[in-house]
Amino acid sequence: MASTAEHPVHLQHHFVSSDQQFDASKMGMWLFLITEILLFSGMFVTYTVYRVWYPEVFDGMAVLLDWRLGGLNTLVLLASSFTVALGIHYAQVDNKKGLVTNLILTFLFACVFLVVKYFEYSAKIEHGIVLGDGFAPHGVSHGVDYATYDVMFAQQFFSIYYVMTGIHGFHVLVGMGLFAWITIRAMKGHFTSAYYTPVELCGLYWHLVDIIWIFLFPLLYLI
Amino acid sequence: MSHAEHHITPIKTLVQVIVALFALTILTVATSRLDLGAFDVLVALAIALTKGALVVSVFMALKYDNKVNAVVFGIGALFVIVFLAFTLFDTAFRGDLSNTTEGTIMEQKAAEEALQQREPDPAALQFNRSNE
Q: Does B38 touch chain A (CB under 8 A)?
A: no
Q: Does A30 touch chain B (CB under 8 A)?
A: yes
Residue A4 lies in a domain: no
Residue A41, Cβ neighbours under 10 Å: how many?
18
Range of the domain at B28: 7-87
So what's the ipTM on this one? 0.89
Range of the domain at A29: 19-222
Q: Does B30 touch chain A (CB under 8 A)?
A: no
Which residues, given as ranges, of chain A have pLDDT below 70? Answer: 1-6
B3 or A179, which is more confident: A179
Enclosing H/E stretch for A140: strand A140-141
* Structural domains counted in chain B: 1
Residue A13 lies in a domain: no
Interchain proximity B55–A75, CB inside 8 Å: no
Residue A10 lies in a domain: no
A207 vs B contacts (CB less than 8 Å) = 55-56, 59-60
* CA angle, residues A217, A42, A146, in degrees to nearest 5: 45
Residue B98 lies in a domain: no
A92 vs B contacts (CB less than 8 Å) = 3, 6, 8
Residue A175 gets which letter from DSSP? H
Q: How far is A62 from chain B (nearest CA, A)?
A: 11
Yes or no: say if A99 and A202 are a contact pair by the CB < 8 Å rule. Answer: no
B80 confidence band (pLDDT: 50, 70, 90): very high
Residue B20 lies in a domain: yes
B59 vs A contacts (CB less than 8 Å) = 81-82, 84-85, 203, 207
Residue B62 lies in a domain: yes
Q: Which pLDDT score, from 0 to 100, does residue B131 have?
A: 47
* Structural domains counted in chain A: 1
Residue B31 lies in a domain: yes
Residue B73 lies in a domain: yes
Q: Is the full-model pTM beyond 0.90?
A: no
Q: Please report, for the domain that includes residue A27, its CATH number.
A: 1.20.120.80
Q: Which pLDDT score, from 0 to 100, does residue A82 have?
A: 97
Residue B95 lies in a domain: no
Residue B120 lies in a domain: no
Yes or no: say if A129 and A137 are a contact pair by the CB < 8 Å rule. Answer: yes
Q: Which pLDDT score, from 0 to 100, does residue A150 have?
A: 85
A149 vs B contacts (CB less than 8 Å) = 127-128
Interchain proximity B29–A67, CB inside 8 Å: yes
The end-to-end CA distance of chain A, in Å, is 53
